[in-house]
Amino acid sequence: MPHHQPVVVVTTADQHRFELIHVPCTDARRCLLLLPGMGLSARQYITFARALAERGIEVFIHEWRGVGSSNRRASRRCSWGYLELLDDIDAARAAVVARIDGAFVLAGHSLGAQFACLSAGRSSAGCRALVLIAGGAPYWRVFPGAKRWMMLGVVGLFPLLAAMVGHYPGKRIGFAGREARGVMSDWARSARDGRYEPGGVDQDLEQGMADLTLPVLAVRMADDWFVPAASFDWLLGKLRRCEITTTDVAAASSGELSDHYRWMRRPERTVATIESWLSGHGSQRSAPDAC
């Protein structure tokens, strides 16, 4: 689906090319880099980003490797894992800092919320705060009741399916998108062990998150089936030194549920929550070394 927003082209050291969708605003007071959920393209967040821009928040929307504007597609001959996704985020962060000449808020939805924590734990340079939307750790043991055993099953099934097909065919089975084998292997490792120790990453990401001292807003959707409270809490528990504000976004007065994805259709309450929190935490645009 085409869009009419300006873009910032990013090319990484391994020649991965992708576009950040830029949603500018007049007299922007803050800047936010948004990491999408697994299998979701940047353009699916334009409505949300425009609502933020109306409140003085300039937005850059990241594009995952293998999705949308990315010049890569997962296949048997083309795979990658969390290491490459983190490197892509580093490149996106550098592009944003160069563009705005200031610090930014790093935000993420779903898997993007996990990666916001991982990326900031890897390096907090230029990052003013974290905003986590419907984010939780996929650790199977913290899921309640039948969901626990379902999660344990997919921990084994998804990487096996990806190995058999050559990539994970998420659109065919109704969860995520076309994902690389390495991504599903790293995802399954975090779901199995409750720790983020992806292949090829030299840094201790768990320690990096534990040492992080940024302000954090964690937004939970009240009707979120994918992220139960214990999953939400497990992820936040890794940010031991951060000042964390948690809030729930309830169902709309019209009766429309506030779940893992539907909040994106009518993002006004989520946007108001984010804008209010940022206003109270002094996250005005400032030099990158101010964080």
Residue 290: is its pLDDT beyond 60?
A: no
- What is the number of domains present in the chain? 1
Per DSSP, what are the bridge partners of residue 203? none
Q: How many CA atoms lie within 13 A of 253 on its CB side?
A: 2
Q: What is the pLDDT of residues 47-93, one digit of tens each?
A: 999 999 999 999 999 999 999 999 999 999 999 999 999 999 999 99
Give pLDDT, residue 289.
43
Reported as a pLDDT band with limits 50, 70 and 90, residue 160 is very high
Report yes or no on 70 lying in a domain: yes
- List CB contacts of 236: < 8 A, sequence separation 6 or more: 132, 216, 218, 244, 246
Q: What is the pLDDT of residues 172-212, one digit of tens each?
A: 988 899 999 999 999 999 999 999 999 999 999 999 999 99
The one-letter code for the residue type at 240 is R
The one-letter code for the residue type at 63 is E
Q: What is the pLDDT of residues 48-58, one digit of tens each?
A: 999 999 999 99
3-state SS class at 121: helix
Burial (0-12, 13-18, 19+ Cβ within 10 Å), 147: middle
Residue 255: is its pLDDT beyond 70?
A: no
Report yes or no on 128 lying in a domain: yes
Q: With contact defined as beta carbons under 8 Å apart, do 161 and 146 qualify?
A: no
Report yes or no on 80 lying in a domain: yes
Report yes or no on 177 lying in a domain: no
Reported as a pLDDT band with limits 50, 70 and 90, residue 291 is very low
Polymer length in residues for the chain: 291
Give pLDDT, residue 7.
98
The one-letter code for the residue type at 4 is H
Report yes or no on 271 lying in a domain: yes
Reported as a pLDDT band with limits 50, 70 and 90, residue 251 is confident
Report yes or no on 2 lying in a domain: no
- Residue 107: name the closest of 207, 27, 226, 214 by CA: 214
Sign of CA dihedral 206, 211, 217, 222: positive
Query: How far is the C-alpha of 71 from the C-alpha of 284, rounded, in Å?
Result: 34
Q: Which helix (H) or strand (E) is 109 found in, with range?
A: strand 104-109
Give pLDDT, residue 288.
47
Report yes or no on 193 lying in a domain: no
Q: With contact defined as beta carbons under 8 Å apart, do 148 and 248 qualify?
A: no
Report yes or no on 156 lying in a domain: no
Per DSSP, what are the bridge partners of residue 130? 106, 216
Q: With contact defined as beta carbons under 8 Å apart, do 145 and 14 qualify?
A: no
Query: How far is the C-alpha of 133 from the C-alpha of 116, rounded, in Å?
Result: 10
The domain that holds 33 is classified in CATH as 3.40.50.1820
Reported as a pLDDT band with limits 50, 70 and 90, residue 258 is confident
Question: What percent of the chain has a predicted confidence (pLDDT) above 70?
Answer: 95
Phi, psi at 142, each rounded to 5°? -90, -5
* Domain range enclosing 241: 7-139+201-282
Long-range contacts of 203-208 (CB under 8 A, 24+ apart): 203/122, 205/118, 205/121, 205/122, 206/238, 207/121, 208/118, 208/121, 208/122
